[in-house]
A = this chain, B = another copy of it.
Amino acid sequence: MSLIVVGSMAFDAIETPFGKSDRIIGGAATYIAWSASNFTKSIKQISVVGGDFPKEELQALEQRGVSMEGVQIKEDEKSFFWSGKYHMDMNTRDTLETQLNVLANFQPVVPQSFQDCEFLMLGNLVPAVQMSVIEQLKHRPKLVVMDTMNFWMEVALDDLKKVLKKVDVLLVNDSEARELSHEFSLVKAAKIIMKMGPQYLIIKKGEHGALLFHKDNVFFAPALPLEDVFDPTGAGDTFAGGFIGHIARTKDVSFDNMKTAIIVGSAMASFCVEKFGTERLRTLTKKDIDYRIVQFQELVNFDIELV
């Protein structure tokens, strides 16, 4: 009984209006694992790295209960590299450079020991790779969650649509939801996207929070208003990690529990942006997380008596 996390483990170089990082550890699956491992100790990672990826990074996650059996290490190749620059609003960014490297021909292999997977988190990746993992699983997981991005809508829409038919929960941001549905209204966009496969849709709006749609229901989780957003890189992945981590811990896939999971994801994302890369996630304690979740309760809870 475990959670499989699929996605990149990589290097990033980040520029924001407030600073600039060297080449630091990044990648969707890295953020997801750091985040989810606060909630469940049975995580199985599927990814690929080059010989340049620090072994201690893999060990650091192993020490948190993340199995690396599904992580291919291509000693003679280089890890995926992305560099980007954020605009002043920190909600938009330009990609400066992308080196696919090991990701270019990534053929994921699901180890036999991963076949007991109960929850599957497909981090943002080539849709065909996401599909390959789904197809290698002998038993359908209790919940399949998929993240994706606008890039795949532009270069691999057919493949993406095939994966969409196989997943329960899709995570996208607001502009991606609009692009995928050709609708400006997010409520209308959600209806269209849910017809493509996923029964649940999460639309992330960065500093403006996140919406969860299911049938005619909608739930909204705010983002915590922060004095400083230092680096938004990985915030969406960290959100996904908190979401699936909470669900894997509670083993409850009801809509009501997904609401809670989105709050947990939002709390985790609020930590991520406080420092560059995964830095803040590495020093988090249970007390930090609990305290922040209480802040979310205080942020939105109100009493009203209808008279």
Contacts and interface: CB of A to CB of B under 8 A. Distances in A.
A165 interface: no
Contacts of A218: 225, 299
Contact of A263 (B88, B294, B304): B304
A7 to B, nearest CB: 26
Name which of A209, A294, A299, A300 has the most chain B CB atoms within 10 A of its CB.
Answer: A300
Residue among A217, A228, A301 facing the most chain B CB atoms (10 A cut-off): A301
Contacts of A263: 302, 304
A219 B302 contact: yes
Nearest to A17: B184
Main secondary structure of the interface of A (DSSP, over half): mixed
Interface stretch (A46-54, A72-80, A129-137, A185-193): A185-193
A222 interface: yes
Nearest to A226: B187
Interface string A209-233: 1010000011111100111110000
A220 B300 contact: yes
A205 B207 CA distance: 11
30 contacts: A88-B184, A89-B184, A185-B227, A187-B225, A187-B227, A188-B227, A205-B208, A208-B208, A208-B209, A211-B225, A218-B299, A219-B298, A219-B299, A219-B302, A220-B222, A220-B225, A221-B302, A256-B302, A256-B303, A259-B302, A259-B303, A260-B302, A260-B303, A262-B302, A263-B302, A264-B304, A293-B306, A297-B304, A300-B300, A300-B301
